[in-house]
């Protein structure tokens, strides 16, 4: 963060493009719950990012409430952290345009997520999908956020945000106007893998519904998915080295460690030498114990969209009060009439 001396602030966001899953929970939301007591926090439902690929409008609204309800159900307190929808704070779009003129095409050409999402037919991808990481930089820097809790898959986007902040500061000769935001990635759960393929990230868009544990899954669904999880025939190793070439085993041990607050080594000290016939039921009990109560609270909150709308509206007003003066300063720096 070099010489930046502004307040410490946390921002993160989740796309309302599908059901919230264990990867989102362990990689992101769970960290939000702890961070809210340490920092000034803003947690966003990034609906503008979601529409970079087609979203059914009615479903988009429903999913926006789903993400907001997930934040709350996991323990984010709207009286402490601002919970809001990205499109409810205009400053994101305003700063994104200015950043589109700061970021270089070559930087965006290197973004792996665009390549993955656009696939072979990139001529048909939306322009928004291409400039997606620029909007993400605006999400963060419009609040001068200094810390960004995310899963490992967001690392490259965070590096781009730092590059944009640095280039803006440099080009306009405003040293340390923007902080260079620090990603908060480390810790167990930063990369939860598919239950059907230990080399692929757990993702809401996985073709097999058994690949992904959703926060809304009930105890039976959770137990069934873990029972069906792909494994190998060997018993668990006693040392973490033994997980190196066993991605599925490593993933399940990692999930157990993340949810029980232990290290992989501690989990293997207990389960090493045991087969999956013993480990899977223990893991299923743990996941049910930790996730099912969140799912129940999520269902309760989703039944009250009026309350969720109020949380988002109040959160958006709080967020705008932080962002608007920053965007005003940016416009002045750039040479716009303010």
Binding site for ligand TYM (CB under 6 A): 11-15, 23-24, 26-28, 46, 49, 136, 139-140, 148, 150-151, 153-154, 157, 190-192, 201-202
DSSP 244-296: TT-HHHHHHHHHHHHHHT--HHHHHHHHTT--HHHHHHHHHHHHHHHHHHHHH
Choice between 125 and 274, CB closer to ligand TYM: 125
Spatial distance between the Cα atoms of 113 and 76, rounded to a whole number of angstroms = 28
Closest contact distance (angstroms) between CB of 209 and ligand TYM is 15
Is 280 among the catalytic positions?
no
Closest contact distance (angstroms) between CB of 29 and ligand TYM is 8
SS3 state of residue 143: coil
SS3 state of residue 196: coil
Q: How many helices (H) and strands (E) does the chain have?
A: 14, 5
Judge contact between 253 and 198, C-beta under 8 A: no
Here the tokens at position 96 are 């994104």
Closest contact distance (angstroms) between CB of 274 and ligand TYM is 25
Choice between 157 and 175, CB closer to ligand TYM: 157
Residue number of the CB closest to ligand TYM reads 27
Given the residues 59, 167, 201, 280, select the one marked as catalytic. Answer: 201
Here the tokens at position 60 are 């988009």
Choice between 3 and 22, CB closer to ligand TYM: 22
Closest contact distance (angstroms) between CB of 142 and ligand TYM is 10
Is 201 among the catalytic positions?
yes
Closest contact distance (angstroms) between CB of 175 and ligand TYM is 24
Is 216 among the catalytic positions?
no
Judge contact between 42 and 9, C-beta under 8 A: yes
Given the residues 31, 59, 115, 117, select the one marked as catalytic. Answer: 117
Judge contact between 93 and 45, C-beta under 8 A: no
Choice between 201 and 272, CB closer to ligand TYM: 201
Q: How far is CA 278 from the centre of its chain?
A: 32
Choice between 260 and 274, CB closer to ligand TYM: 260
SS3 state of residue 83: strand
> Quick count: other Cβ atoms within 10 Å of Cβ 172?
14
Given the residues 204, 230, 290, 331, select the one marked as catalytic. Answer: 204
Q: Which residues are catalytic?
A: 117, 201, 204
């Amino acid at each position: 963060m070099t010489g930046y001396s502004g307040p410490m602030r946390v921002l993160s966001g989740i796309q309302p493009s599908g059901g919230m899953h264990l990867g989102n929970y362990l990689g992101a939301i769970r960290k939000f719950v702890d961070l809210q007591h340490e920092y000034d926090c803003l947690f966003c439902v990034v609906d503008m990012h979601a529409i970079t690929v087609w979203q059914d409008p009615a479903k988009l609204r429903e999913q926006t409430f789903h993400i907001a309800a997930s934040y709350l159900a996991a323990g984010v307190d709207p009286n402490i952290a601002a919970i809001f929808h990205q499109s409810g704070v205009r400053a994101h779009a305003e700063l994104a345009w200015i950043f589109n003129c700061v970021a270089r095409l070559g930087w965006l050409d290197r973004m792996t997520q665009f390549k993955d999402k656009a696939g072979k037919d990139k001529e048909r991808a939306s322009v928004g999908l291409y400039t997606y990481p620029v909007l993400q930089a605006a999400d963060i820097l419009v609040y001068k956020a200094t810390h960004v809790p995310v899963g490992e898959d967001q690392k490259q986007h965070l590096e781009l945000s730092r590059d944009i902040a640095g280039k803006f500061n440099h080009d306009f000769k405003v040293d340390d106007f923007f902080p260079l935001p620090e990603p908060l990635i480390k810790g167990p759960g930063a990369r939860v893998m598919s239950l059907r393929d230990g080399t692929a990230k757990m993702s809401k868009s996985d073709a097999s519904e058994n690949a992904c544990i959703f926060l809304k899954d009930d105890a039976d669904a959770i137990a069934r998915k873990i029972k069906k999880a792909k494994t190998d025939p060997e018993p668990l190793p006693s040392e973490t080295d033994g997980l190196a070439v066993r991605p599925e085993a490593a993933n399940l041990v990692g999930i157990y460690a993340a949810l029980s607050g232990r290290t992989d080594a501690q989990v293997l000290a207990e389960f090493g030498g045991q087969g999956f016939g013993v480990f899977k039921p223990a893991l299923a009990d743990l996941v049910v114990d930790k996730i099912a109560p969140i799912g129940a609270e999520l269902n309760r909150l989703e039944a009250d969209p009026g309350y969720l709308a109020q949380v988002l509206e109040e959160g958006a007003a709080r967020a705008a009060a932080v962002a608007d003066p920053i965007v005003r300063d940016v416009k002045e720096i750039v040479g716009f009439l303010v």
